[in-house]
Amino acid sequence: MGSLQLKSIRKTYGTHDVLKGIDLDVKDGEFVIFVGPSGCGKSTLLRSIAGLEDVTSGSVIINGRDETLTPPAKRGIAMVFQSYALYPHLTVKDNMGLGLKQAGMPKEEIETRVTGASSMLSLAPYLARRPAELSGGQRQRVAIGRAIVREPELFLFDEPLSNLDAALRVQTRLEIAKLHRQLKATMIYVTHDQVEAMTLADKIVVLNAGSIEQIGSPMELYNKPANVFVAGFIGSPMMNFIAADKLGDKEAKTIGIRPEHLTLSRDSGTWKAKIVHVEHLGADTIVYLESDQCGLLTARLFGEHQYEPDEVVFATPDQARMHRFDGNDQAIR
């Protein structure tokens, strides 16, 4: 389908650097997800790849071609937005085929492509309907179908599920994963949702203040975060951070331990703590603790556990799963 290379991409608005020299290689067929906090530059980076934003400097290479100055319509990309951007007066079929019609494609070819995409997305029964007659999830599938029929070299998704409710997000996420396997297409996807990133991506790019903090597979980022920012951003509930000197570690500045790598006991353990709050989620129990030695801690326990606020317990970390970070917040391997 398509490969992508970004070389020293910079984007500046006045004196404000939004993107600070981004380098990235995306292989043919990869599913790459950009994550990061609001304002980190992930949507700007996606729009720069699409040509909807002019870069201040650097190069956008698609399938070996320098497309930095190429207009969006000629880059061989298709973009799916969170707002669907469907024409309300057109049917599903006409919405999906409009771009092909405007490009002068023969009617028979348009029909073939729309039929194929609608079958893939379970939209065949809705082809004669207009957007107002569809659910949010169906509208988003139409937007995705409109991208599929173009047979692009790159699919770009800008937070496509953020307008859907929780159940529809799960369903549509599964459909996008299935679509990626069927099409074997190169997909680049922006989200603020960690679950989407961890479950969909071959490779995650963690952005912060216009720079890349780390690139890796979901489990690489989870198990081997490069620094305190990535360790705190990836994983929910977020990693516990403890000043290393409180634990007698003279080499590190910060110690990190994920909530699921803490065990609790009423009898004995490493850190004495008082329970502040308990969240019973059914499959998990989240326990918030206050420890004189470590400060506020979060423990994630599998299954149902009967702990109560103000109860005194002991928290014990899995020593093999503790993360150490130096004075520059970088991981100590």
Q: Give the whole-angstrom CA distance, residue 225 versus residue 257.
A: 12
The CATH number of the domain where 283 resides is what? 2.40.50.140
**Are residue 63 and residue 199 in the same domain, yes or no?**
yes
* pLDDT at res. 167: 83
* pLDDT at res. 163: 82
Q: Across all residues in the chain, what is the average pLDDT? A: 94
Q: Give the whole-angstrom CA distance, residue 76 versus residue 150.
A: 9
Query: Residue 124 domain-assigned?
Result: yes
Question: What average pLDDT does this structure show over 125-134?
Answer: 94
CB–CB of 300/284 below 8 Å?
yes
Question: What is the dihedral angle through the alpha carbons of 56, 61, 62, 67, rounded to the nearest 10 degrees?
Answer: 50
Question: What average pLDDT does this structure show over 257-273?
Answer: 96
**Are residue 128 and residue 219 in the same domain, yes or no?**
yes
Does residue 333 surpass a pLDDT of 70?
yes
Q: Give the predicted TM-score (pTM) of the model.
A: 0.90
Query: Of 229, 253, 278, which residue constitutes the final position of a domain?
Result: 229
Does residue 137 surpass a pLDDT of 90?
no
Q: Give the whole-angstrom CA distance, residue 129 versus residue 121.
A: 15
Of all residues in the chain, the percent with pLDDT exceeding 70 is: 100
Does residue 123 surpass a pLDDT of 70?
yes
**Are residue 32 and residue 165 in the same domain, yes or no?**
yes
Does residue 1 surpass a pLDDT of 70?
no
Confidence band (pLDDT; 50, 70, 90) for 162? confident
| N-to-C CA span, the chain | 37
pLDDT digits (tens, 9 = 90+) for 35-91: 999 999 999 999 999 999 999 999 999 999 999 999 998 899 999 988 888 999 999
Does residue 258 surpass a pLDDT of 70?
yes
**Are residue 94 and residue 125 in the same domain, yes or no?**
yes
DSSP secondary structure string for all residues of 55-77: -SEEEEEETTEE-TTS-GGGSSE
Query: Of 229, 262, 279, which residue constitutes the final position of a domain?
Result: 229
**Are residue 222 and residue 280 in the same domain, yes or no?**
no
Angle between helices 136-148 and 92-102 (to 10 degrees): 30
For residue 135, CA distances in Å to 85, 124, 163, 164 come to 14, 15, 11, 10
Residue 88: strand, helix, or coil: coil
Query: What are φ and ψ of residue 10, in 5° steps?
Result: -125, 140
Of all residues in the chain, the percent with pLDDT exceeding 90 is: 80
Query: Residue 282 domain-assigned?
Result: yes
**Are residue 175 and residue 125 in the same domain, yes or no?**
yes
Does residue 119 surpass a pLDDT of 70?
yes
For residue 326, CA distances in Å to 231, 249, 255 come to 13, 11, 9
Token digits of residue 187: 């997909």
CA 54 to chain centre: 24
* pLDDT at res. 73: 87
* pLDDT at res. 168: 83
**Are residue 127 and residue 144 in the same domain, yes or no?**
yes
Which DSSP category does 121 fall into? T
Using CB atoms within 10 Å of the CB of residue 64, give its burial: 0 to 12 exposed, 13 to 18 middle, 19+ buried. Answer: exposed
* pLDDT at res. 97: 94
Range of the domain at 282: 238-325
Confidence band (pLDDT; 50, 70, 90) for 265? very high
